[in-house]
Amino acid sequence: MENDRGSAFQIVLGAATLAALLQGCALFGLSDAQVAVFSEPPGARVVVDGRDSGFVTPCHLTLDMSRHEVELRLPGYAPGTVSLEPSRWREAVLWKDMSLRPDVWRFPLWLNLEDSVEPVKFHQDLSPGHVFVRLQRAARP
C-alpha cells in the first residue's frame, strides 16, 4: 500500500514538473513569432512555404520558429520572395542602469516584476520581423 502511494506521488510530481516546463516555453514566447507583412501595392496574396496562408497584405502572421519562405503574389506583378530566419539574442538589465538619480536607492522597486526577478532575458524571433516588398509589374509578352 505504501509503495502504491509513493509511485502515485512520483507520477503526479513528474506530470506537474513536465507541465511547468512546457508552460515556461509558452510564457517566454519560444514557440511562435509574429511577422508583419506589407507590400506596395497592397492586396498581394501571402504564400508561406508554398502554401496559401489565406491572408493578403497588409497582415500579421504567427509562424513557428523555423526557416520560412514568404512569397507575395498579385495578378499583373512579378512575385516577391523573402526568407525568414530564426534569430536569438540576449539582453541584461543591470540594476546600476536602472537608477533614476544618484541619490535614489538602487533596488528597482519601480520596475515590473519580470525585470526585477529576471534581469537577463533571452529573445527568440524571426528575422526580419517586418517584411515590406515593392512588387514590380510583370513584363508583357
What is the tens place of the pLDDT at every residue in 29-47? Answer: 457 888 999 999 999 999 9
Q: Where are the alpha helices (DSSP H) in 1-126?
A: 2-27, 113-117
Three-state DSSP state, 74: coil
Residue type, 70: V
pLDDT tens digits for range 36-93: 999 999 999 999 999 999 999 999 999 988 899 999 999 999 999 999 988 887 777 6
User: Whole-angstrom Cα distance, residue 133 to residue 84?
Assistant: 13
Say whether pLDDT at 26 is over 50.
no
Phi–psi pair at 38, nearest 5 degrees: -130, 155
Its pTM stands at 0.59
> Which strand ranges, in their side-by-side order, compose the sheet holding 45-48?
51-56, 45-48, 68-73, 80-92, 120-127
